[in-house]
Amino acid sequence: MEPAITLVDISGPAFRYPAVLGKGLVDQVGEYTRKYLRCEVCAVISDSNVAPLFADRVQVSLASAGFRPTLITIPAGEKSKTFEQAGAICEQMIATGLDRQSFVVGLGGGVVGDISGFVAAIYHRGIPHIQIPTTLLAMVDSSIGGKTGVNTRDGKNLIGAVHHPSLVIDDVDVLKTLPRREFNQGFAEIIKHAVIADTKMFAQLKVARASGLRRATKTHALQALIKRNIEIKSKIVAKDESDQSGERALLNFGHTVGHAIERAGGYRKFLHGEALSLGIIAACDVSVKKAGLPQNERDAIIGLLVRFGLPTKLPKKFPRKKIFEAVQLDKKFESGKIRFVVTPRIGVARVANNVTLDDIREAVAQL
């Protein structure tokens, strides 16, 4: 059965935009954009891996709907997510004649989504942004919620802006070219969503397989899974857009230790989702100790991470001490207080106020 195109309405007190999900949407970008934007001139920002695969089709589609696109390609990888690169993109947009009436299309993974969104947020003090995420991680996580930004020498995502896209276009077909390791890492965020908010999805994942979900006959299941994850994230964001009430913090489940592992590995050893997998295990161990998470549920969560090819053990020689140092630097330790997200049972999460640095140290030592 050919999955139909589905629309998710993403809305909160201060934003409203649709995510369109389906197959072959790369060739319909112009059509969909026309429904939401009147402007003509746009920059399509992509990276050196994704542009050769899909940028022509996106540009042809935009042009056939009356838009005038210019392609700007940046080198693939996290190292491109810098202020300098954002500045260079802006200069190129100025040189091409983009003005306040223009818009930006981000075609790529989370790196392109974050930097193109940041450029859209600052160019002429803000022009519309369209997200065309091409990694699973970007579809289920980074393209939703409006957080945009760049890294600095001292840390990730330290400079940024909240700038919601006008439209998100998720074409499941583009995931076919995504390397397996990149595909699998997206499941760390999906498993996180299941643990914090959705027991039913957790049960479904227990009988799913990453490889199966990419087969043509199963793309409807993949599409439904992406839709569900967009709904989970956008509902949480809608309740707490500006990260004030603590609701949005729930999305950080597994990230305190996950980010620290990424940093300790120099951002080379583990992909974000892989480090998150280990961070989820640490968060589960803290939850067993401090939030009453039953041992068998902790084991079931780890079982899912294994099922999707995610790491569950640190390499023997990995500098564990560096992880702990990085944990202490994390911005979630606001004014010395730890905001650590725990799960008392699958499907529920809360910010705990009784987690100590020693609890975290102990959980990291066990990894």
Ligand X SMILES: NC(=O)c1ccc[n+]([C@@H]2O[C@H](COP(=O)([O-])OP(=O)(O)OC[C@H]3O[C@@H](n4cnc5c(N)ncnc54)[C@H](O)[C@@H]3O)[C@@H](O)[C@H]2O)c1
Residues that bind ligand X (CB under 6 A): 47, 49-50, 53, 76-78, 81, 108-112, 114, 134-135, 137-138, 141-142, 145, 147, 156-157, 174, 177-178, 182, 272
- Judged by beta carbon, residue 137 or residue 323, the one nearer ligand X is 137
Residue 321 neighbours by CB under 8 Å, 6+ apart: none
Q: Which residues pair with 105 in a beta bridge?
A: 44, 130
If DSSP codes are grouped into helix, strand and coil, which group holds residue 19? strand
- Judged by beta carbon, residue 69 or residue 145, the one nearer ligand X is 145
Minimum distance of ligand X from residue 177's CB (angstroms): 4
Would you state the structure tokens that stand for residue 259, as one six-digit string? 């980010």
Residue of this chain nearest to ligand X (CB atom): 110
- Judged by beta carbon, residue 129 or residue 298, the one nearer ligand X is 129
- Judged by beta carbon, residue 147 or residue 227, the one nearer ligand X is 147
Minimum distance of ligand X from residue 205's CB (angstroms): 19
- Judged by beta carbon, residue 188 or residue 291, the one nearer ligand X is 188
Q: How many CB atoms lie within 10 A of CB 88?
A: 15
To the nearest 10 degrees (0 to 180), the angle between helices 272-291 and 295-307 is: 170
Contact 266, 44 (CB under 8 A): no
DSSP element (H, E) containing 12: strand 6-12
Minimum distance of ligand X from residue 144's CB (angstroms): 7
Minimum distance of ligand X from residue 88's CB (angstroms): 18
Q: Identity (one letter) of the amino acid at 83?
A: F
Would you state the structure tokens that stand for residue 211, as one six-digit string? 């490889």
Minimum distance of ligand X from residue 165's CB (angstroms): 11
Residue 329 neighbours by CB under 8 Å, 6+ apart: 155, 263
- Judged by beta carbon, residue 111 or residue 264, the one nearer ligand X is 111
Contact 198, 347 (CB under 8 A): yes
Minimum distance of ligand X from residue 239's CB (angstroms): 16
